[in-house]
């Protein structure tokens, strides 16, 4: 339902905090690119069986953080993650150093207080800093 509404509103992709069988079925019939989320090896494997090799890892910090991702890299070498949930400027580089991480996500470049203040220059500066973070070699 939400995917169809998002597509009708002009969205080109969707991201979810988790995955359910109903959402998985809806995504496979949706024109939107979808980044589903996994927090465990089993969830990641199930998504990969359905063709989703790029996944959100959420909630990253509560689910074992960068160490969990490092542990998943060897047994699940074809799955790549975008960790979110507890990722910020203090630990983003640690996540990006993981060989199975293709990106990180977080709200630190655009905190609510800066949005409410319409401090676009400050948000742009934070976004540039985030974009400059080094990715894994």
Look at residue 136 in the predicted model and tell me its pLDDT: 64
Look at residue 137 in the predicted model and tell me its pLDDT: 56
Look at residue 41 in the predicted model and tell me its pLDDT: 98
Helix (H) or strand (E) holding 35: strand 33-35
Point out the residues of the chain with pLDDT beneath 70. Answer: 136-137
Long-range Cβ contact pairs of 16-24 (< 8 A, separation 24 or more) = 16/56, 17/56, 17/58, 18/43, 18/58, 19/43, 19/46, 19/47, 24/50
Look at residue 64 in the predicted model and tell me its pLDDT: 98
Look at residue 1 in the predicted model and tell me its pLDDT: 76
Look at residue 135 in the predicted model and tell me its pLDDT: 75
């Amino acid at each position: 339902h939400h995917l169809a509404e998002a597509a009708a509103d002009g969205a080109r992709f969707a991201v979810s905090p988790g995955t359910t069988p109903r959402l998985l079925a809806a995504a496979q019939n949706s024109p939107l690119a979808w980044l589903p989320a996994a927090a465990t090896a089993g969830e990641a494997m199930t998504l990969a069986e359905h063709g989703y090799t790029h996944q959100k890892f959420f909630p990253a910090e509560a689910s074992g953080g960068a160490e969990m991702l490092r542990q998943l890299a060897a047994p699940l070498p074809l799955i790549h993650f975008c960790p979110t949930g507890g990722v910020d400027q203090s630990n983003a580089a640690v996540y990006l150093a993981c060989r199975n991480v293709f990106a990180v996500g977080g709200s630190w470049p655009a905190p609510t207080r800066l949005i409410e203040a319409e401090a676009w220059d400050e948000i742009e500066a934070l976004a540039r800093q985030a974009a400059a973070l080094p990715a894994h070699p």
